[in-house]
Every structure is written in C-alpha cells, then in structure tokens.
Amino acid sequence: MARGIFRVTLLVGVGLHAPAGHAQSTTRRAAFEVAAIKLNRNCGNEGLPGGASPGRVNVRCATLRGLIRTAYSVFGSGTANMNRADEVLGGPRWVYTDHYEISAMAEGDPPRAQMMGPMLRTLLEARFKLKVHTESRDSAVYALTVVNSNPRLQASKEDSCIPMDLASLPEEASRASELVPKYCGSGGNRATGLNMVSDWYGVTMAEFADRLLSPFVDRAVVDKTRLSGKYDVHLEFVRGEGPAGLVLRNGEYSPGSPAGTSDVGASVPSIFTAVREQLGLKLVQDRSPLEVVVIDHVERPSGN
C-alpha cells in the first residue's frame, strides 16, 4: 500500500492471463544475468517503479504477492496488459506482508515486458522456489455498483492524462519533488498516518475497482456499474478499515480498532463510506468466478 509518496501505481496492484500451470521448460529460459533480492523492513509501499533503465529492473518495495501478479498475470505472456491482474491465493502470510527490494540486470536491452514477465518468473521460481498454477474459482467478491442513475463521477477530459505504454515507460522520478506523469489508467496515493488520498486518471470502472479498491479491502472488487466511460477519480478515506468492524493488521483482517487511530481525522470515512458519499457508488457482497494464481510451494528467498 502506498504511503507518503505520490507515484504511478503499476499493479503489482496495481494484467494478462498467463499460461495454465506455468510448467518448467527443459529449454533455456529467459533469465536475468545478475539479480539481488533482499528484505526491506522499512517500507510501506507495495508496487513496482514507474520505469526501468535499459536492461535493468529495480523494485524498491513489493510483496511477493505483488511480484507474482506482475510476473504471471500483468506481463504473463511476455506482453503488457493492465486490464486484468489475477488474484493470488495460498502460501504463508509473509507472501502478503513482507516487502522486498530487487535489483536485476539483463544481458543487452530486452523489452520491459520480457523482463517483468518471463524473466521475473524465472527469478522468482529460482530464488523463492516458487511453484504456482492458475484456475478459475467461484469467489467471494465485492461488486462495485451505482447508488442511483447519477453517480458523482468526473468524466476524464481528452488531455487530462498521458496514454500509457507499459513496454516503454520512462524512468520514474529520481527525487520525491519530481512529479510522475499522469498516465491514463493509473494513479497514486498520498497518506498521512491512516488517512489516504487517492487520485486516478482516465480509468475505466474495471480498472478503478481492481487497482484502487481491491488492495484496500478484504476481497477482490468486480465492476458491475455498467458504466463504459473513463473517469478522473479523487477519493479520501481511512486506510486499513474493512467491512463489519474488521481492520487490517499485518495483511490480515481482524476485529478491533486500527493501531495509531489518533492521527485519523474524525471526518475521514472508511473506504466503503467514501465510495458511496464521494462517488455515488457502493460496494456490495457478491460472488463471481475469478481467475486466480494458486501458490503450490514457496520458500523465503535464497541468497544472492
């Protein structure tokens, strides 16, 4: 989850369908020439950087869950598509709570989608001893619907964002003072304590449901608004609060009050209330078939 810094959020959060089973090949697989992975205990963001140097990938702060979604789903076929990112199921809790830094260098200058898909998969399978398969499951979800026929959404203007080409994104801002471009279909978060402010540009409701809403609640969010346009979305809410009095602690929802609630303004609503009051939308419990990536085996990363 993003804290304190505004940056482009690429699902990690925030893809494409990957081949079922992801079986190991007997032929030489695409791989990084050199790669280092280490645990980052001092970060609060989940996400991949907005850009990469030629032949290099640098991830500052991502959970293994986010890396799996990126490698097996968003860039699952070696091309880039942000219209779907499969949910990840199974594995120990640290898969969802521990954050890692990755610095990897490839031979030559392969396409970004090649590095973030097949090459990242090879790395995860080697260092985390990762084995996964994909399947379709009838799953508990939240359906994003409209409260009435006039939701309070701002239609995206033609020049309000820059079309995103995931295969050739520029370097991300090297300093916090530098602004990341407003890419269509993406956005960022700013946090003060548990107070979260999110701004997204040129998003469809399906993108908004998956990339912004799903990471902040306890199940996947599926768009059922029947709204076909693209929108600029501004949302303010308390991060970490789930449905029915459940709160998020260390990647799991449990009863009680969030730690550090003293810095939460009384006027800042939960994400469920914010979606209804600020956007004229609502989240309702539902069930839907979802493509999921299931972890069959995983170990903490081996040495570099």
Domain edges within the chain:
34-136+291-297, 138-290
- Note the pLDDT of residue 8: 36
- Note the pLDDT of residue 262: 35
Q: Backbone phi, then psi, for 180, in 5-degree steps?
A: -80, 135
In the DSSP assignment, the letter for residue 20 is T
Which region among 66-75, 256-265, 293-302 has the lowest average model confidence (pLDDT)?
256-265
Average the pLDDT over 140-157 and give the result: 89
Which region among 78-87, 187-196, 281-290 has the lowest average model confidence (pLDDT)?
78-87
Q: Which pLDDT tens digit goes with each residue over 16-51?
A: 333 334 444 445 688 899 999 999 887 754 455 444
The CA angle 179-171-101, to the nearest 5 degrees, is 100
Residue that wins the pLDDT comparison between 301 and 8: 301
- Note the pLDDT of residue 246: 42
- Note the pLDDT of residue 128: 96
- Note the pLDDT of residue 183: 76
Q: Which pLDDT tens digit goes with each residue over 104-131?
A: 999 888 888 888 889 999 999 999 999 9
pLDDT band at 268 (very low <50, low <70, confident <90, very high): confident
Q: How many residues does the chain have?
A: 304
Q: How many whole angstroms separate alpha carbon 92 and alpha carbon 78?
A: 28
For the chain, strand residue ranges (E) read 34-39, 56-63, 87-89, 99-105, 131-146, 154-155, 186-192, 195-203, 221-223, 231-238, 246-249, 252-255, 281-297
Q: How many whole angstroms separate alpha carbon 9 and alpha carbon 234?
A: 15
Average the pLDDT over 171-191 and give the result: 61
Average the pLDDT over 274-278 and give the result: 94
- Note the pLDDT of residue 303: 66
- Note the pLDDT of residue 21: 44
Q: Which pLDDT tens digit goes with each residue over 242-252?
A: 444 444 443 34
Q: Are the C-beta atoms of 136 and 284 separated by less than 8 Å?
A: no
Average the pLDDT over 147-154 and give the result: 86
- The residues, ordered by sequence, that sit 6+ positions from 221 with a Cβ below 8 Å of its Cβ are 141, 142, 143, 144, 209, 210, 213, 214, 283
- Highest mean pLDDT out of 63-77, 79-93, 123-137, 156-170: 123-137
